[in-house]
Amino acid sequence: PGLNVVAKSKGKLYFGSATDNGELSDAPYAAILSDNKEFGQITPGNSMKWDATERSRGVFTFSGGDVIADFAAANGQLLRGHTCVWHSQLPSWVTAGNFNAADLTSIIETHTTTVVDHYKGQVYAWDVVNEAFNDDGTFRTSVFYTTLGSSYIATAFHAARAADPDAKLYINDYNIDGLGAKSTAMTNLVAQLRADGVPVDGIGIQGHLIVGAVPNNLQANFEQFAALGVEIAITELDIRLTLPVTPEKLAQQKADYQKVIAACAAVPACIGVTIWDWTDKYSWIPSVFSGQGAALPWDETFVKKPAYDGIVAGF
Ligand code: XIL
């Protein structure tokens, strides 16, 4: 019946996919992406990031993001905004040492306010802050943290809430799928932010995982997040393998997808799942993780892999 149909039949809000602007000119690709029986939600993989939206200070460009937002609206799909404040894919003018604390706070406020305001009313949820932590649970050293300490996080969330009071505001990260130091740090941070009146509505679990190495305590971790009173979502799921593909690896990948989806299915606070694109043709994995790939539920020729059935079985 389609992944979104299956997810909704189990009480979830959506099953969705990331996409990117260049891919949309691939007509067979766009036809599948637009099918809201498969995908009830879309995330722009790049075109709402800082380097795409404010390449020069105070000069905003929304052309790429608007194409994705319009695509989602035309196909009855929810939109996740991604991302306001992140250490990566920053324009070169956002550099440590260029600005004092007051200036950088104002820069974060202007950026977040302008981008979130532009998409006001069109976005279900924003990844307001992305990847604030190192894997050991300490704060990541970024231009933001170096200049402002962790206060930049509250700054961004307050700006986002003021710009679009109806959008769900998420903090998003990777390697917070299972229990561990990074998940504990996220739990503690979100508890503190909410105690301080910072408007954090959700925790985004990216879910960039490895075939045969998916953590066993996903559900317990999701429940720990949910106990904070926030919603959670799996925001960037892919499960990569070491190439070449074999039937055995695809069978393990199916089991791994099923395991992740089942953990979300078991936790009511887990409202939806987004895969980080749906076809291996456009996955980011081979370009970043040398020798790895085939991480998504459809192969490069748009044929469904065993992982697809694993997702259905997981719900
Ligand atoms: C990736 C995109 O998919 C790539 O096209 C780009 O070159 C780099 O960024 N975590 C995130 C995403 O939050 O924004 C990243 O997306 C993948 C890792």
75-117 confidence digits (pLDDT tens): 999 999 999 999 999 999 999 889 999 999 999 999 999 999 9
**Spatial distance between the Cα atoms of 195 and 192, rounded to a whole number of angstroms:** 5
Which atom of ligand 1 lies closest to the CA of 174? 10
Distance 274 CA to ligand 1 centre (A): 13
DSSP state of 106: H
> Percent of the chain beyond pLDDT 90?
99
C-beta 293 within 6 A of ligand 1: no
Catalytic residue among 38, 54, 231, 236, which? 236
Which residues constitute the domain of residue 85?
3-314
The answer to whether residue 131 is catalytic is yes
pLDDT exceeds 90 at position 121: yes
Distance 46 CA to ligand 1 centre (A): 7
Residue pointed to by tokens 């953990």: 263
C-beta 236 within 6 A of ligand 1: yes
Cis peptide before 83 (omega within 30 of 0): yes
pLDDT score for 142:
97
- CATH number at 55 reads 3.20.20.80
The answer to whether residue 248 is catalytic is no
Chain-centroid distance, C-alpha 145: 21
Q: What is the mean pLDDT of the chain?
A: 98
Lowest mean pLDDT among 56-65, 89-98, 101-110, 140-149: 89-98
Catalytic residue among 38, 54, 131, 231, which? 131
Q: How many domains does the chain have?
A: 1
User: Residue 280 contacts by C-beta under 8 Å, 6 or more apart in sequence?
Assistant: 293, 294, 295, 296, 298, 299, 300
C-beta 187 within 6 A of ligand 1: no
Which atom of ligand 1 lies closest to the CA of 235? 13
pLDDT score for 97:
85
Distance 283 CA to ligand 1 centre (A): 10
Distance 276 CA to ligand 1 centre (A): 8
Burial 235-263 (b: 16+ CB within 10 A, else e): bbbbbbbeeeeeeebbebbbbbbbbbbbb
Helix or strand (DSSP H, E) at 291? none
C-beta 45 within 6 A of ligand 1: yes
Q: Please state, in angstroms and as integers, the Cα–Cα distance from residue 291 to each residue in 146, 243, 281, 287, 312, following that order.
A: 34, 6, 15, 9, 28
Q: Where are the beta strands (DSSP E) in 144-300?
A: 168-173, 202-205, 208-210, 231-242, 270-275, 292-293
C-beta 50 within 6 A of ligand 1: no
**Spatial distance between the Cα atoms of 116 and 199, rounded to a whole number of angstroms:** 14
What's the mean pLDDT in 244-260?
99
The protein residue with its alpha carbon nearest to ligand 1, atom 4, reads 284
The protein residue with its alpha carbon nearest to ligand 1, atom 13, reads 130
Distance 195 CA to ligand 1 centre (A): 31
